[in-house]
């Protein structure tokens, strides 16, 4: 009977570890999903900022060109 008690104890211990590992796996999977969502959000923000930066650069180039034209006309 002692052997059965030992086996039962080992089975309970193993099942407990399995349950803990499954819970940890679930938590880690959820955390990975959150991280992926955060990365996608950051990439979108980066892309938006790049587009905004390019728009500002284009506008500044236009202003510089107009100032250069104005200056070249005023020199003549």
User: Could you tell me the sign of the dihedral formed by the alpha carbons of 33, 35, 36, 37, in that order?
Assistant: positive
Residue 18 above 90 pLDDT? yes
Q: Which residue do the tokens 């796996």 mark? A: 25
Residue 57 above 80 pLDDT? yes
Please tell me the predicted confidence (pLDDT) of residue 74.
86
Q: What is the mean pLDDT of residues 36-54?
A: 98
Please tell me the predicted confidence (pLDDT) of residue 49.
97
Please tell me the predicted confidence (pLDDT) of residue 75.
78
The H or E element spanning position 68 is helix 2-75
Q: If DSSP codes are grouped into helix, strand and coil, which group holds residue 39?
A: helix
Please tell me the predicted confidence (pLDDT) of residue 76.
64
Q: What angle do CA 59, 76, 71 make, to 5 degrees?
A: 20
């Amino acid at each position: 009977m002692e052997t059965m008690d030992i086996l039962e104890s080992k089975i309970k211990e193993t099942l407990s570890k399995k349950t803990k590992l499954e819970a940890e796996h679930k938590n880690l999977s959820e955390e990975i999903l959150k991280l992926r969502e955060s990365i996608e959000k950051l990439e979108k923000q980066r892309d938006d900022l790049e587009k905004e930066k390019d728009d500002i650069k284009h506008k500044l180039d236009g202003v510089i060109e107009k100032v250069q034209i104005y200056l070249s006309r005023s020199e003549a």
